[in-house]
Amino acid sequence: MNFLKRHLPFADRIRSDRNLKELLRNSGLMYIAGGVSIALTFLQQITTANLIGVEDYGRFAAIMASAMLVMLLVDFRTWEASAKLLARSLAEKDHDESASTVTWLSLVDLASGLAATLVLVALAAPIAHTMLRAPELTGLVRVYALLIPLRLSARGVPNTLLRLYGRFDWLSIKSIIYAVLRLVFLSGTAFLGFGLPGVIIGAVISDLLHTLMLYVMMLTLWRRNTHQTRLLRLDRPRRFREGRRLLQNLWIGASLKGLQLETFIPLLALLTSPEQVGLYRVGLDIAQLVTRLMEPFSIVIQPTLIQLYEEQPLWEFTRYIKQTTVIALSLVIPFVVGVVLLGPLIFPVVLSKDYTGVPSVAGLLAIGFGVSSIVLWLRPAIVALDAVQAQNIISFVALVCSLIGLFLAAPYGANGAALVMAAFLIGYSGASLVLFLRQIRREKMKEVTG
């Protein structure tokens, strides 16, 4: 209660705090777009699930999860690394260094994406046979593999560069267009009767158009801000060694957490049935809407926290975190309460009778993702504090515990998997928070000892 009294209401604080004003102004634009995007995404997920049926939707979920798992194993988190590496060179208007960094990190995404595609193509037959229980779908798994380099490239440097230049209006427009593309190409193909093959091909097409759009935005913005400085530079950046070490630590952390998040559905497919996978996936889609709800703030917070740590006193850094936590609480709690209390009344109306188990699954997952969303600032803060290596230990312990939990909970199907996932999210967030507080104490001691 004392925490809330100190930080609510915000009216006077907003007027006097430039960083908070920028957070609310920039995220405000994205919030409007985010609301439209969430509605379109929810419509796409529900209509696709109903049109292709629970069994095929479970297979679609297993294909997506398999692809995301392979992708995460080669994802070097260039969007996080680029925020830290580019913040200084952009502030100093060192365009050549920025261009070298952008080129280097973009090539990392391209190479790792192509490698992941080859891996998934090679694994397509066993995935179709064991997880999908439909060997004839091997070709579809290989088609979906084409999406991986597109997804990695889109979420990498272009996104970060737009954030660092403050073009959140462009990102807002992009999020709506992407949601429309997925609605048209996924739900549209399902509505026209193309079934699971149409949905798979539609997903690849929508991601291709999304990636092209982002790169056009990045190139346009670069030319406007650098007076036609060439973006493609193959010389090595000056901060290459620092960046290489950062990429290694980010890759380890992302791989460990990705293994936990993305192995759930493939393992659930192996341990249970496509129907249970379909129930879990729909519940997951609903629960993850809270992350979409908080995405506008996350997009603004990530580069801002790193810039604050690099350029401002520590108290400014921690104050910004406290303010964003209070805002997150005010948004997340109503969503989670709504899913838990109103879900049993609403979901049976919008979903077919095959999905009767979704309310309990969605409720459990909403609690877990809700807690994780309240502390959405943790990851960029830990990157800024150079504590990624310590967080990787937390990720490893959480991975082992959650996988053991999933095997024990498998007899309980989708509900058991949802309970284990919620426990993982809450435990991981709590342990990361302890790590953050420890690092802050160390930083304060450094300031005192000078």
pLDDT surpasses 60 at 206: yes
How would you class 418 by CB atoms within 10 Å of its CB: exposed for 0-12, middle for 13-18, buried for 19 or more?
buried
The count of domains in the chain is 1
The rounded distance, in Å, linking the Cα atoms of 289 and 309 is 30
pLDDT tens track for 13-51: 555 566 666 666 666 677 788 778 888 988 998 999 999
CB atoms within 10 A of CB 2: 6
The residue among 145 and 72 whose pLDDT is bigger is 145
pTM: 0.71
Residue that is written with structure tokens 């997951």 in the block: 284
CB atoms within 10 A of CB 428: 24
The rounded distance, in Å, linking the Cα atoms of 74 and 286 is 27
- Residues in the chain, how many? 450
Angle at 119 between CA 117 and CA 122, to 5 degrees: 110
Q: Which letter does DSSP use for residue 312 in this model?
A: S
pLDDT tens track for 212-249: 999 999 999 888 888 766 777 878 887 777 778 888 88
One-letter identity of residue 37:
S
The rounded distance, in Å, linking the Cα atoms of 107 and 112 is 8
46 close to 351: Cβ distance less than 8 angstroms = yes
What's the pLDDT score for residue 184? 96
DSSP secondary structure, 56-99, as one string: HHHHHHHHHHHHHHHHHHT---HHHHHHHHHHHHHHTT-HHHHH
Report the mean per-residue pLDDT for the chain.
Answer: 86
- Could you list the residue range(s) of the whole structural domain that residue 96 is in? 2-449
Orientation of helix 240-271 relative to helix 388-409, angle to 10°: 0
The rounded distance, in Å, linking the Cα atoms of 373 and 328 is 7
CA distances (Å), origin 187, targets 123, 162, 181, 294, 312: 27, 29, 10, 25, 47
pLDDT surpasses 50 at 1: no
Q: Which residues contact 193 (CB under 8 A, 6 or more apart)?
A: none
The rounded distance, in Å, linking the Cα atoms of 260 and 252 is 13
Cis ω for the linkage preceding 266 (within 30 of 0): no
pLDDT surpasses 60 at 10: no
DSSP secondary structure, 315-336, as one string: HHHHHHHHHHHHHHHHHHHHHH
CA distances (Å), origin 84, targets 97, 174, 219, 250, 444: 13, 23, 20, 12, 21
Cis ω for the linkage preceding 197 (within 30 of 0): no
Share of the chain above pLDDT 70, in %: 92
What's the pLDDT score for residue 4? 47
Task: Average the pLDDT over each of 143-147, 195-199, 352-356 and give the range with the smallest value.
Answer: 352-356
One-letter identity of residue 187:
S
What's the distance, CA 6 to chain centroid? 31
What's the distance, CA 222 to chain centroid? 25
Closest-CA residue to 64 (of 147, 171, 5, 121): 147
133 close to 62: Cβ distance less than 8 angstroms = no
pLDDT surpasses 60 at 293: yes
pLDDT tens track for 302-354: 788 887 887 778 888 898 899 889 889 998 999 999 999 998 998 888 888 88
Q: What is the mean pLDDT of residues 2-8?
A: 50
Pair of tokens at residue 376: 């959405």
Closest-CA residue to 208 (of 168, 251, 178, 239): 178
pLDDT band at 421 (very low <50, low <70, confident <90, very high): very high
